[in-house]
């Protein structure tokens, strides 16, 4: 990726036959598209390949306008958040060519609208990436009204021939209005988080180009780490999203992100629950940005109302006030109260009218006032509130879907069905045979431009009807909801896997490992089992939903040549232990299967072997217990400090503490009763506090004791709502501050350390908080800071042991800087077994190796590992039957 300041690459090749002008073009066009050069050398576009100034953009727009010719013609444009489509779009607007804007990734829509409207030029990419302006007609074949500038679909991406006709004035007026109430200026930079062919995404482009602001052109999802790299590198100030975007922001920990230049977040494209509006408004207040909740329709170019950000927290249920230049009135509607009516909108951004055939492109204005189809009321404070819909149109993931059109499409494919919107999903009840469900879902998803997860299908032998004989759409919604669907088939194995390992009965496609309360004890097993089913996992898989993980799994046809075939998901439970590791070693080609291994897992696996081996005296490599304390803090941040609400967070913490403390106390109690090596204080994990002796075995379990103390203390602190909010707001700052405080204990300035200071909880707490901070160190600057802190504070902890000090520094530097390490499949399996059983190996090895150490040291090492893995299996089985653990 080039630095944003590097020269922008040459434009992609464009093919268009030369056209001789037949008649002069009417000197019309959209002003903001014609006046780009006025902003000179200000940055207009920012892409992974570099920056493009307004002057350079204007030159490319002028060149493309010349290629389009001087004869006014209809241009069908395959939209995408890339430079070539945007340049072509602006060229057409500036020169007065009407644009039929369609989704660039939907072949059926491009085909159907090309057939329906016979555009003179089709602008789209070829298979080799070449951007083409393919000429179908040398002259305009349609009568085009002088005001016509843009045609957009009214119903998402179903390929419906019904289009919204928008004028040059509509585009300019709505862009002016939006830029005014959002306060956009030439220092702003907005990311293209929404599709260009969607009126909301297009309005972001219009309003920012109007003011000479920058556009961060990207086609990445906000769920991708690379998106945020581009956003920060481009100095992004504006972020736009539909409700589903905010679902993704919740999952990726948006509230913890450091985005110092972010000024505003905008939301439209469907109703966001009032409590979430209020929560994001409060987050924006704390973080220094404003939340604008907006309301609009394609028929109004984009926006009709907005909620002033200062009212978002106290009036989150309202859509707000009309945009500058617009106005509302309520049309009384039968069957509703006197204060409720259909919302009608007037303003310069109201469409010219609809088009259903090429002949309609010659029409002028046929609509003066827009009937929104929404039922609304005006509150005493002047804010408008939407209370329902008069029509069946539904907004799903920001797309306006016409269920009637979907029913007609299915009818064309021989499927009789009823369709209804249900929140963020399209519910489809269809007549058919068992086994047709997947085909119908795929057909609807492709035609509507929706992901499969947003289409719920139920195949029935009789469609639900009301007593009047009309379709029962409420029954369609009810019958297609997950709780009503027949038992899951093989494609839902991941749901069963999550339910089995995390002991949850309410797992859905939108569940994540962290969201279900997964912790470091079951993390390793889950990651190995998922790798067997899905292949290589992203480093943040624990925060991704099952649906996202399933979508990321590449089909066999896309695997790189020579890569081993991924095994079919198993119906029974695979053995993740030694048997699984041995199977991996003996699988043909397994040593050639390249994988990666998370650094935290690798440190746990290597660390427990070196700890036990050093105790057995097979070798003497010390320091890994302190590395694992840092790993424990790292995992605490990843698995306990999720985006869950306060009470759920505390419940997860309590469950994790119990899963560490109870098995430890059970085992140590047995050791106290059967041997003379331990005092009763060990059994209740209090030896570090009581300090009854200085014998080696009295301090054997210092690590477990310290870990439990830290978790209990932090759970108590975060039980205070104010501190919980502080952690969510200062995800990196809080652990960094705690590390600074913990350095008081590191140097024992208060004299609290025991006779073995390097094993004292007060001395090692800074390592735990350092690991916590490492999990939140998303930038190079933060990692450098933590590394410097490590290099300054660690020396002297282990007096006269330079090798131990160096080992700990290297291990923690790996954790801070290197998220994954190259590996092989059998090594992953073995590391998984050792890492998942590391706590239990540590607990049990003191009762195993002393009996074999003198005569059979290697056997003592191996036996200690096996017994610990066995105890891990027992604990795992018990915790899955005793829910409170």
Q: What distance lies between CA 143 and its chain's CA centroid?
A: 46
DSSP conformational letter for 323: P
Compute the average pLDDT of residues 53-74.
94
Question: CA nearest 875: which of 848, 836, 849, 846?
Answer: 836
According to the model, what pLDDT value does residue 120 have?
93
What does each C-alpha distance from 771 to 7, 644, 803, 858 come to in angstroms?
Answer: 40, 21, 21, 32
Question: CA nearest 731: which of 255, 364, 290, 383?
Answer: 255
What top-level class would CATH report for the domain 402-484?
A: alpha beta
- What is the distance between the alpha carbons of residues 347 and 830, in angstroms, rounded to a whole number? 67
What does each C-alpha distance from 413 to 161, 408, 427 come to in angstroms?
Answer: 18, 9, 18
> In this model, does residue 521 exceed pLDDT 70?
no
pLDDT digit string (tens) for 231-253?
999 999 999 998 878 988 988 88
Q: What is the pTM of this model?
A: 0.51
pLDDT digit string (tens) for 634-658?
999 988 887 767 777 888 899 889 9
294: which residues sit within 8 A by CB, 6+ positions away?
266, 267, 268, 303, 305, 306, 307, 319, 320
Domain ranges of the chain: 31-387, 402-484
Q: How many CB atoms lie within 10 A of CB 778?
A: 18
pLDDT digit string (tens) for 144-172?
999 999 999 875 445 678 899 999 999 99
Contact between residue 552 and residue 538 where contact means Cβ atoms under 8 Å apart: yes
DSSP conformational letter for 364: -
- What is the distance between the alpha carbons of residues 613 and 864, in angstroms, rounded to a whole number? 9
Lowest mean pLDDT among 530-539, 557-566, 693-702, 712-721: 557-566
Q: How many CB atoms lie within 10 A of CB 344?
A: 16
Helices (runs of H) and strands (runs of E) counted in the chain: 30, 27
Lowest mean pLDDT among 135-144, 177-186, 740-749: 135-144
Res. 572 pLDDT band, cuts 50 70 90: very low
Question: CA nearest 214: which of 224, 223, 204?
Answer: 204
Q: State the number of CA atoms in the 13 A half-sphere of 854 facing the CB.
A: 2
Contact between residue 443 and residue 413 where contact means Cβ atoms under 8 Å apart: yes
Provide the angle, in degrees to the nearest 10, between the axes of the packed helices 599-616 and 825-836. Answer: 60
According to the model, what pLDDT value does residue 434 have?
62
pLDDT digit string (tens) for 655-697?
889 989 999 999 999 998 988 788 888 899 988 887 555 454 5
pLDDT digit string (tens) for 853-885?
888 999 999 999 999 999 988 987 787 655 433
- 414 in helix, strand or coil? coil
**In terms of C-beta density within 10 A (0-12 exposed, 13-18 middle, 19 or more buried), how is residue 24 classed?**
exposed
603: which residues sit within 8 A by CB, 6+ positions away?
624, 627, 628, 631, 811, 814, 815
- What is the distance between the alpha carbons of residues 784 and 793, in angstroms, rounded to a whole number? 14
Joined tokens for residue 205: 């482009």
31-387: CATH, from 3.40.50.150, 3.10.100.10, 3.40.50.12780, 2.40.70.10: 3.40.50.12780
197: which residues sit within 8 A by CB, 6+ positions away?
79, 101, 102, 103, 104, 152, 153, 157
Joined tokens for residue 45: 């576009």
Q: How many CB atoms lie within 10 A of CB 802?
A: 9
According to the model, what pLDDT value does residue 717 have?
94
> In this model, does residue 388 exceed pLDDT 50?
yes
Contact between residue 609 and residue 834 where contact means Cβ atoms under 8 Å apart: yes
According to the model, what pLDDT value does residue 861 have?
95
- 782 in helix, strand or coil? helix
According to the model, what pLDDT value does residue 17 have?
33
Res. 592 pLDDT band, cuts 50 70 90: very low
> In this model, does residue 25 exceed pLDDT 80?
no
> In this model, does residue 279 exceed pLDDT 90?
yes
Question: CA nearest 657: which of 521, 765, 860, 809?
Answer: 521
């Amino acid at each position: 990726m080039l630095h944003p300041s590097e020269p922008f690459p040459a434009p992609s090749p464009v093919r268009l036959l030369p056209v001789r002008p037949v008649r002069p073009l009417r000197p019309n066009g959209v002003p903001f598209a014609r006046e780009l050069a006025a902003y000179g050398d200000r940055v207009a576009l920012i892409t992974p390949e570099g920056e493009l100034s307004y002057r350079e953009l204007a030159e490319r727009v002028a060149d493309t306008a010349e290629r389009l010719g001087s004869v006014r013609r209809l241009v069908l444009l395959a939209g995408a958040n890339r430079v070539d489509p945007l340049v072509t779009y602006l060229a057409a607007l500036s020169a007065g060519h009407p644009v039929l804007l369609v989704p660039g990734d939907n072949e059926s829509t491009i085909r159907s609208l090309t057939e329906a409207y016979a555009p003179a030029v089709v602008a789209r990419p070829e298979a080799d990436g070449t951007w083409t302006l393919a000429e179908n007609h040398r002259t305009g074949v349609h009568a085009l009204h002088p005001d016509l500038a843009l045609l957009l679909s009214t119903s998402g991406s179903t390929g419906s021939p019904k289009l919204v006709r928008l004028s040059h004035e509509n585009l300019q007026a709505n862009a002016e209005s939006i830029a005014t109430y959002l306060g956009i200026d030439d220092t702003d930079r907005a990311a293209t988080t929404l599709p260009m062919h969607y009126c909301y995404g297009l309005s972001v482009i219009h309003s920012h180009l109007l003011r000479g602001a920058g556009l961060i052109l990207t086609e990445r999802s906000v769920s991708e780490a690379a998106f945020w790299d581009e956003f920060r590198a481009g100095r992004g100030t504006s972020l736009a999203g539909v409700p589903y975007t905010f679902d993704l922001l919740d999952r990726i920990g948006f509230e913890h992100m450091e985005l110092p230049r972010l000024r505003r977040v905008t939301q439209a494209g469907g109703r966001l629950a009032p409590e979430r509006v209020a929560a994001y408004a409060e987050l924006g207040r704390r973080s220094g940005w404003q939340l604008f909740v907006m309301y609009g329709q394609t028929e109004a170019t984009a926006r009709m109302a907005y909620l002033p950000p200062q009212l978002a927290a106290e009036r989150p249920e309202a859509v707000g006030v009309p945009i500058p230049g617009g106005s509302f009135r309520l049309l009384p509607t039968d069957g509703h109260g006197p204060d409720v009516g259909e919302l009608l909108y007037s303003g310069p951004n109201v469409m010219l009218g609809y088009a259903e055939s090429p002949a309609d492109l010659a029409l002028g204005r046929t609509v003066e006032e827009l009937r929104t189809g929404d039922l609304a009321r005006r509150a005493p404070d002047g804010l408008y509130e939407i209370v329902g819909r008069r029509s069946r149109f539904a907004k799903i993931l920001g797309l306006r879907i016409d269920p009637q059109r979907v029913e007609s499409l299915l009818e064309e494919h021989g499927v009789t069905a009823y369709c209804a919107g249900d929140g963020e999903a399209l519910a489809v009840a269809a007549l058919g045979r068992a086994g047709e469900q997947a085909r119908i879902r795929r057909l609807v998803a492709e035609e509507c431009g929706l992901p499969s997860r947003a289409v719920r299908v139920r195949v029935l032998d009789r469609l639900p009807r009301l007593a009047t004989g009309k379709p029962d759409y409420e029954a369609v919604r009810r019958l297609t909801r997950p709780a009503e669907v027949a038992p899951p088939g093989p494609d839902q194995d991941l749901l069963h896997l999550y339910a089995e390992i995390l002991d949850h009965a309410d797992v859905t496609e939108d569940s994540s490992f962290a969201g279900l309360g997964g912790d470091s004890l079951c993390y390793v097993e889950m990651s190995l089992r998922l790798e067997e089913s899905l292949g290589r996992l992203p480093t943040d898989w624990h925060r991704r939903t099952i649906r996202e993980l399933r979508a990321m799994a590449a089909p066999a046809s896309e695997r790189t040549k020579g890569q081993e075939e991924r095994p079919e998901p198993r119906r029974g439970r695979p053995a993740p232990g030694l048997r699984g590791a041995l199977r991996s070693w003996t699988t043909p080609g397994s040593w050639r299967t390249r994988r990666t291994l998370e650094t935290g897992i690798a440190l746990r696996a290597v660390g427990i072997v070196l700890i036990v081996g050093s105790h057995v005296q097979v070798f003497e490599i010390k320091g890994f217990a302190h590395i694992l304390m840092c790993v424990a803090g790292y995992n605490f941040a990843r698995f306990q400090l999720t985006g869950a609400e306060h009470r759920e967070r505390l419940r997860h913490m309590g469950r994790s503490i119990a899963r560490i403390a109870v098995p430890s106390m059970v085992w140590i109690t047995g050791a106290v009763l059967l041997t003379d090596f331990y005092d009763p204080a060990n059994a209740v994990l209090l030896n570090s506090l009581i300090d009854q002796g200085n014998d080696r075995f009295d301090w054997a379990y210092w690590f477990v004791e310290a870990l439990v103390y830290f978790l209990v203390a932090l759970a108590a602190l975060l039980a205070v709502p104010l501190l919980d909010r502080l952690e969510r707001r200062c995800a990196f700052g809080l652990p960094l501050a705690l590390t600074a405080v913990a350095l008081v204990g590191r140097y024992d300035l208060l004299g609290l350390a025991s006779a073995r200071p390097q094993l004292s909880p007060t001395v090692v707490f800074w390592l735990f908080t350092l690991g916590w901070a490492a999990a939140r160190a998303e930038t190079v600057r933060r990692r450098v800071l933590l590394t410097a802190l490590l290099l300054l504070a660690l020396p002297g902890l282990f007096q006269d042991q330079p090798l131990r000090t160096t080992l700990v520094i290297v291990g923690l530097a790996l954790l801070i800087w290197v998220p994954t390490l190259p590996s092989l499949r059998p090594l992953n399996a073995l590391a998984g077994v050792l890492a998942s059983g590391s706590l239990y190996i540590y607990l049990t090895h003191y009762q195993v190796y002393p009996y074999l150490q003198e005569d059979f040291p290697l056997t003592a090492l191996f036996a200690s590992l096996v017994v610990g893995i066995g105890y891990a299996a027992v604990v795992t089985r018990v915790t899955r039957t005793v829910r409170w653990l």
